[in-house]
Structure 1
Amino acid sequence: MSVVSVGGDYDVVIEAGCSARVADVVGDGVQRALVVHPDSMRPLGDKVTESLRDKGIDAYAVSVPDAEDAKTAVVAADLWALLGQHGFTRSDVVVGVGGGTVTDLAGFVAATWLRGVPVVQVPTTLLGMVDAAVGGKTGINTAEGKNLVGSFHPPRAVLCDVDVLSTLPRADYVAGLAEIIKAGFIVDPVILDLVAEDPEAATRPDGPHTLELIERAIAVKAEVVSQDLKESSLREILNYGHTFGHAIEHVEHYRRRHGEAVSIGMVFAAELACAAGVLARDVVDRHREALTSVGLPTAYESGRWAELETAMRRDKKTRGSLLRFVVLEDIARPVRLEGPTEDQLTTAYAALSH
């Protein structure tokens, strides 16, 4: 078992089988629990629900749509209705069992019910473990963009049951590697070295460095969010690759995996930094090498710049009409690039277009 503390406020447990111990971390005085899970994770959701009932907690399981279809105001309203119907109070708990979309949704519902009830996250995807479930960011999507409605609401605990990773489709597992590689580029280059040592092994849950990669990525996020919970400054570095990545998700109506979009977004950010004279070409090349070595995409179709730029201008980091990007000066040296020129933007886009 490995435990990563997030600023001493809560722990992220990384251990095989730890999802069975939800009742041990929900806290004292809990009488009711709402277990939110996607349709595809019903067996684990039911298992967690039963474990809570065995401890004398009135637990209710509710299934929500898979992927981004779960992160809507309609689904959130349905969950609020259930909380009201079952008489949930501030001493009760919401449990999110699923990938990043479910932990985002469960966290948002917990943050907004009675202005905040506890949430315990049980991420079931690699992406959820290393990114979405850690840090307290919650949110839902709107027609205008991703995560534009949300709240900061740190969980009571996060349980990363690595046994579940063996059930993931390979494409979903590989997509989660984008967030791990991102952590390597912005803070911890050892991650990049481990991936380069054996890229094929990095794509397998039973790889020799799997646990270390997960732990290192979580440690990066834990250190950053413990210093800057509400993204006032430092936490923005965790959005590396996300401005362009979120734009891709938006124009494709969330049909592309988040990690795939972020992978392309990191290449765009690297090319943009190079075009702006901030980043050396060899580091841009290393982005493509690291990402392609594990099967992640690094190119995007041409002819869609206008709609992508419109989507980026709705990004949360945008200030007025000024686009802002997290870029690198070098590996592990992230900085902000404010107001890049249109020529720099289109040069970066052309460099990854096909």
Structure 2
Amino acid sequence: MSDQPQPNQTTQLSTGRLLLFSLIFIGLTAAGLYLVYASFADRTLSFDWRLLEPLALISALGLLLVYFVSDGLRLYFTLKALGYSISLQALSKLVFINLFFSNVTPLATGGGFAQIWYLQKQGVPLGRATAATTLRTLLAVFFIFGLAPFFLLFLPALQGENLISDLGQTLAFFIFLYLGFFTLLLLRSHWLIPPLDGLLWLLQNFTLITPQRKRIWQFKLRREMLRFAFSFQTYLKGSPLWIGLSIFFTALFLLSLFSFPALLLYFLDYEVDYLTSLGLLVVTTFIMYFAPTPGASGISEGVFGSFFSGLVSGGHLLLVILAWRFLTIYLGMLIGLGVLQKDLIQRWKPAP
């Protein structure tokens, strides 16, 4: 009898892991919401039916459409600049698969790996799939990391903010580290090979990996570095139209993402300056990049509550957080889970 797992066993295993990751995400989210409830919301929560009025729902659906479509198109045009294309059906699946995996894995890495796997199924080579997802992320990182220091220094709502005062030096260090790493990755990727070789040597020296494993990883790291460097050069030599559209839809995606709280506050009749709301979300998202928890769960709710507690009444604060996270994260995750489960079922469905 074969020792290989049967299709139904593999499906159960995959489902079990996804369920575990999802429960961790839910638990950390609940902890973050309770922190906001106890520390910033005066232990009050009230629902406001104004968020379900027809105009509010239509506006939210319109912004959601821009959010999801621009998320897909920023990857689509990055792929086009690299000389590859995928169907719109596959693209729509990629959007929601990324939303699910990036929010149930620490540091949002899982979404990229899942998209690379799915792109390979669509005929995109590993090197180009890796480059496309990495470049897509880098474009967003440069927008966010370019804007965050400006808002940290000059946005009135953040002046005197205790959280920023406590984390100021740490945030400055991570800005330098992130931008420095990505600059080297883009412009001088071969410079990263010696430090990575040194890291593998240390892992072998402390018997954390075997010499054979070290050689395998060393080969793979060098190969992927060279592939990425070549793909980035290909991206820069691509059609200016595709490059411009990839940048444009990245900016549109981020603008729609940062606009959800302003939309919610508008329909709750709060007179909050749009630039203030946008700036607070830029800094919140910036901090979320360093959160070790899956999808920044718990931390995102706490940071949002800290920043907006002076602008929103205690009774509405948790409501706004839940609505914001539902529109930008929870809804996409639920759709992504459905898409993933459907693909798993089709993959392991016995042939007739």
Tell whether the structures are fold-level matches, with TM greater than 0.5: no
Higher strand proportion:
1
Q: Could you tell me the TM-score, scaled by structure 2's length?
A: 0.28
Higher helix proportion:
2
